[in-house]
Structure 1
């Protein structure tokens, strides 16, 4: 004979509520882990090493409480403390997790060899940018053979309006994805400015490529194209960067054709059977 547990008094058990109750129980987490994650999130948002007081304040914790969590996070390798400055920064385990996240991105994997080939063939720097919380962020940078007087590196966030990369990022994403960032970067912009920017984005979508000449850095120019998956979603932005005069920024020039071809190849790789898992 099978015995059934009686429901507690005042509790109605129905076929609909039982699965919900089980799901709620399965989703219970460890509060202390979630509190520690607030410190990691605050550090990631700041994008610079932070002293204890500032980090605790950003995570809305008392400094003494934050310090106890930071000790454990440091033991795990998620955070490390600089012994000279006393500031906290991401640890080696955070780096490994970030790299693992990138390695799971099929678009990034498909773009790596093509970015290297572009840099070698054209003698230009090549940047692979993915969408980040603060905008398009360089996750791979292949420097040109000749010195380039511009401060670009992995982790650089590209301005939305001022760079070809940023404009391509906006042109191929829904407005909700980029308008808050655009407005934060340009607090004085008017509705007319936004409308003009939107018209420029429409031209970029029609053309499939964007360029910047001597901007935002003097004597440095660039070309950018989107990489779209089979659903038409933007996966990354591929950008050529070179000294003005050395890089061919003609819409139909050799550099533009090579960049468009590389972007199309990456997109085609994503649309192949098992392309997202390759």
Structure 2
């Protein structure tokens, strides 16, 4: 974001030093911190002395490394308390829909699964039956597959097993897929950071959906672009996909999400958990 007007250069330099500590996600020695902030070590040290007095930064006595201090934590908490993910996303998708020229939706995890809470039309009108309150299937829509890939498995396991059991008789928008197919789609979504659908659940309509995370690494909502098959390219190199990922990454960052701070080893396979909770059929002995 470009901000007009004359600022205070020393404050901006100090901001680069603090930003380097945020991006690093770990304590840094003076020289590596100065390199990341693009300042001389002596200049960085002077700023760090002031930051330590304000408790924005603290220094480990044993290693000499610098890290963010208690006041930085208080600032972060104050920011998070005043920020509502839905309000943030709701304002942001107005301009985003205009930018991409297509329908953009916000979905959250509701009682019955992925639920649309806001629909923003683009300049290119899409004739699909999507409105606030619409429930999407987990397995048959791009939005649902994002929740399957990035929500805690235990949260969605019950609803997922119900969809797979009912098959074509599910109530949400989208035709249920098989467990094997879902496993592959979930793995792909996790690899690329988004989930696509082509010509499903509505013939001639494509969609791409991506997650928005909060400071704890938990998925809060999904942003989905919906458009005609000949207009919306769902490939990873398409301009629409790149725009969506840039948009969701920005929203996540504004909610305090830092990828390096999350422990990816704690993420379990959604479908495996669903399988574990599903009824087990014992094989008959020959």
Say yes or no: TM over 0.5: yes
How far did residue 226 of structure 1 move? 0.3
Partner of 1:172: 150
Q: Deviations over 1:156-196 (max 9, x none)?
A: 0111111000000111112221121122223156xx94354
How far did residue 232 of structure 1 move? 1.1
| Contact kept in structure 2, 1:107 and 1:267, CA below 8 Å | no
Aligned with 1:271: secondary structure? Answer: coil
| Contact kept in structure 1, 2:194 and 2:210, CA below 8 Å | yes
Q: Deviations over 1:188-215 (max 9, x none)?
A: 56xx943542342122112101111100
How far did residue 105 of structure 1 move? 6.8
Matches within 5 A, 1:125-164: 125-164=103-142
- Whole-Å Cα distance in 1 between the matches of residues 228 and 100 of structure 2? 12
Q: Deviations over 1:226-264 (max 9, x none)?
A: 001121101000000011111222211111111101101
Partner of 1:21: none
| Contact kept in structure 1, 2:102 and 2:126, CA below 8 Å | no
Matched, 1:233 2:218: yes
| Contact kept in structure 1, 2:103 and 2:125, CA below 8 Å | no
Deviates more, 1:233-242 or 1:202-211: 202-211
The partner residue of 1:185 within 142, 163, 167 is: 163
Aligned with 1:201: secondary structure? Answer: helix
TM-score scaled by structure 2? 0.55
How far did residue 147 of structure 1 move? 3.0
Q: Deviations over 1:120-168 (max 9, x none)?
A: 0111000000110111111110013233221000000111111000000
- Whole-Å Cα distance in 2 between the matches of residues 267 and 118 of structure 1? 15
Matches within 5 A, 1:40-51: none
| Contact kept in structure 1, 2:112 and 2:135, CA below 8 Å | yes
Instruction: Pick closer, same or farther for the CA change 1:171–1:105 going to 2, 3 Å.
Output: farther
| Contact kept in structure 1, 2:106 and 2:222, CA below 8 Å | yes
TM-score scaled by structure 1? 0.57
Q: For structure 2, which runs of at least 5 residues remain unmatched after alignment?
A: 1-81, 168-176, 258-286
Partner of 1:115: 93
| Contact kept in structure 2, 1:163 and 1:212, CA below 8 Å | yes
Partner of 1:217: 202
Q: Which has the larger radius of gyration?
A: 1
Matches within 5 A, 1:1-278: 106-187=84-165, 193-271=178-256
| Contact kept in structure 1, 2:207 and 2:234, CA below 8 Å | yes
Partner of 2:29: none
Q: Deviations over 1:55-105 (max 9, x none)?
A: xxxxxxxxxxxxxxxxxxxxxxxxxxxxxxxxxxxxxxxxxxxxxxxxx87
